[in-house]
Amino acid sequence: MQKNVFSCLIANSLGIGEKYVAATLSLLEEGCTIPFIARYRKERTGSLDEVQITAISDRYEKLLEIQKRKETITKTINDLDKMTPQLQERIDKCWDATELEDIYLPYKPKRRTRAQVAREQGLEPLALLLMKQREHDPERAAERFIKGDIKTVEEALKGAQDIVAETVSEDERTRQQLRNAFQRQAVITSKVVKAKSDTDEAAKYSDYFDWSEPLKRCSSHRLLAMRRGEAEGILRISISPDDEEACERLKRHYVYGNTPCGRLVSEAIDDGYKRLLKPSIETEFAALSKQKADEEAIRVFAENLRQLLLGAPLGQKRVMGVDPGFRTGCKIVCLDAQGNLLHHDAIFPHPPVNKRTEAALAIQRMISKYQIEAISIGNGTASRETDAFIKDVLAGRYNIDTKSTSKTASPQVFVVSESGASVYSASKIARDEFPDEDVTVRGAVSIGRRLMDPLAELVKIDPKSIGVGQYQHDVDQTLLKHSLDQTVESCVNSVGVDLNTASQHLLMYVSGLGATLAKNIVDYRREHGAFTSRAQLLKVPRLGPSAYQQCAGFLRIRDGKNPLDNSAVHPESYAIVEQMAKDQGCSVSDLINNKDKRDAIQLNKYVTSDVGMPTLTDILSELEKPGRDPREQLEAFEFDKNVSTIDDLVEGMILPGIVTNITNFGAFVDIGVHQDGLVHISQMANRRIAHPLDVVKLHQHVTVRVIEVDHRRHRISLSLRV
């Protein structure tokens, strides 16, 4: 019964058919993962994609939280012996968290308030008398309540007003009316704390020293910046509507005229608004606006992470990884096509050592000995100088005796982001992989491997350390982790994983697996050798039929016994493909390699009660390019050779660049001067755009125009409108 209610509520809120929501919830309850449901259960869900399934899952979790809260509220009110059938019905039918708290507020245990003290003193009848406003002489009426701790008429009326103030502030209609005022006209105001205004820490918040704007127009990055300044004790933030107008609107519901009682109620409302009602709703809107800003920042972070993880891979090539540096030299590693470390060294081609000829000879020897096919250079300190040096070496600009080196094709040179490489190098994962190497070697290996396969390498690093988010330490950390973990899982499963080469950490994110099963797979592979079929997974300790169903379709086996094991066709559909091949009078391999035979397949013949056209269409598409990588091809890139520092920049220059980060307000672009420039959203197109993601994507190669260089603050303003 409860599940049906949830299905209906979710369907209405998301605009998705109720039967498909119900089916999705059933699959999630069965332990199916979101990637598995989206890929292999399209008939049951109406071909919902991962975004829609994730939305259903998230909304379901929120409804479960509300249900749990309703149970707590019901128990509390029952314990107070104040539950009525009408109140229980309201609670049962309520699925809005804010409305639910409003219903509960009058019964909610709270610390001893002024109104509670007044009630204990027997002043509630006087408060009701004031609110009805039928008494012509409230002071005379108050005389009847002078007893005990109440010594005067003034004390009696003041206590009654306290009750009125609290009653009005806890009224659902009143609270919703003030919420409406906040939604329409609330202004967020930021002021600097005077004692901190001249400090170095405060300088970065100077834009917000005296700032105000309508809350509904405040962008997520500005709100998060202000909240960070507030957390650091530099700014003081407030959110408020037009207090006078809001208060007057409330009085229209409670004050019936300019009578003695009416004036007392009016005073009570002024007090209740300032002391109780406004602070409560302001806190509510502060939390809601922060939540909205968090969700937006996390959405952008997750999209940036997705683009980074799905960056174009070089593939299985022999790679030289270079972690550049000046004084400490450049750490060099040579990797085989599977990313295994073959050799490491250090060269010192730059000041202050300047052993350029010796370094050039070392590079040539390593390229020849390890048959290097590509060179990956980190984009940090000395990157431009190292890139130029290595290209000079490859071009033969050093007088080196090359008789001892064989003639090999010149490797391509790539510059890759090294964000997070130092975090990886000091991590347990890196120590487990390279227990005998120091952090510099591990960092260079990471730089080399992320050229070969960004996804396989970057999953080893905490996404918050990769450098593609904004205010990631200020947003809800639980929500951030949940979103980023889902993004990583989605990316890993959309690409697929080579069962025989994947690391334990990469396997962790495969649908249906996890840390334990990933380790068991690696241990089994180490003991028994390479997997030759997906079915062998069932021999892995603790990997049962359920986990096998979830993971098998996302794992690939190159050159296995069954060609379908290197495709996204799920083992549960192998029989369908085999029947297709039989009907075409050929083997499965022939079907994959022969377009005419695939074109001759009539999919309608294979529709059953369990398998529909969506699955059959996916199967046929996969047979055309089994095991294809959905990622783009890697393209080489070069910065302008005439520009290497911010001092080389001149307004009006047209330069090549790489998008390194995307925010709500624009995109940061690396133009090779060790300081990213900002393309503000207003400079991204000759039309109005909703978000930078509509125009650019992470690591996109772009051409920009320099429009301003602020040497003092080291800020570069760029434009895509070249």
Tell me the average confidence (pLDDT) per consecutive run of 10 residues in the chain, 722 residues long.
86 96 96 97 96 96 96 96 95 95 93 94 96 92 92 96 96 95 96 88 90 95 94 96 94 93 96 97 96 93 93 94 96 96 97 95 95 95 94 84 56 92 92 94 96 94 82 89 94 96 95 96 96 97 97 95 95 96 94 93 92 95 88 89 92 95 93 93 93 92 96 91 90
With beta carbons less than 8 A apart as the criterion, state whether 70 and 91 touch.
Answer: yes
CA distance 82 to 361: 87
210-214: strand order across its sheet = 210-214, 187-192, 235-240
What 3-state DSSP class applies to 80?
A: coil
Rounded to 5 degrees, φ, ψ at 231 are -65, -30
pLDDT value of residue 159 = 96
3-state SS, one letter per residue, for 644-698: CCHHHCCCCCEEEEEEEEEECCEEEEECCCCCCEEEEHHHCCCCCCCCHHHCCCC
The residues, any chain, with a CB within 8 Å of residue 71's CB and separated by 6 or more, are none
The answer to whether the peptide bond before residue 435 is cis (omega within 30 degrees of 0) is no
Alpha-carbon distance of 623 to 587, in angstroms, equals 13
Q: From the CB of residue 497, how many other CB atoms can be counted at a distance below 10 Å?
A: 22
Per DSSP, the three-state class of 452 is helix
**Six-digit token string for 389:** 């040096």
Q: Position 264: which residue type?
A: L
State residue 472's pLDDT score.
84
Q: β-strands 187-192, 210-214: how paired?
A: antiparallel
Going along 233-307, which residue ranges are E strands?
235-240
Q: Tell me how crowded residue 517 is: count the other CB atoms within 10 A of its CB.
A: 22
| Cα→Cα distances 633→295, 622, 630, Å | 32, 19, 9
Q: Among 281, 211, 296, 207, which residue's Cα sits nearest to residue 241? A: 281
Q: Per DSSP, what are the bridge partners of residue 657?
A: 702
> Of the candidates 224, 694, 310, which has an alpha carbon nearest to the alpha carbon of residue 487?
310
Tens-place pLDDT, residues 522-536 = 999 999 999 999 999
CA 576 to chain CA mean position, Å: 38
Residues in the chain: 722
273 to 172, 237, 278, 414, 503: CA distances (angstroms)? 14, 19, 5, 63, 60
Backbone angles phi, psi at 414, to 5 degrees: -130, 145
What is the token pair recorded at 550? 């979830």
**DSSP states of 531-585 as a string?**
---GGGGGGSTT--HHHHHHHGGGEE-TT-SSGGGGSS--GGGHHHHHHHHHHTT
Q: What is the dihedral of CA 384, 388, 391, 392, to 10 degrees?
A: -160
Q: What is the pLDDT of residue 408?
A: 56
Q: How far is residue 172's CA from residue 179's CA, in Å, rounded to a whole number?
A: 10
Give strand pairing partners of 615. none
What pLDDT is recorded for position 628? 84
Task: Please name every residue paired with 590 in a beta bridge, in sequence order, or none if there are none.
Answer: none
Q: Are 235 and 229 in contact (CB under 8 A)?
A: yes
Encode 471-538 in three state secondary structure.
CCCCCCHHHHHHHHHHHHHHHHHHHCEECCCCCHHHHCCCCCCCHHHHHHHHHHHHHHCCCCCHHHHH
**DSSP letter string over 49-70?**
-HHHHHHHHHHHHHHHHHHHHH
pLDDT at 404: 46
**Angle between helices 477-495 and 278-309 in degrees, nearest 10:** 20
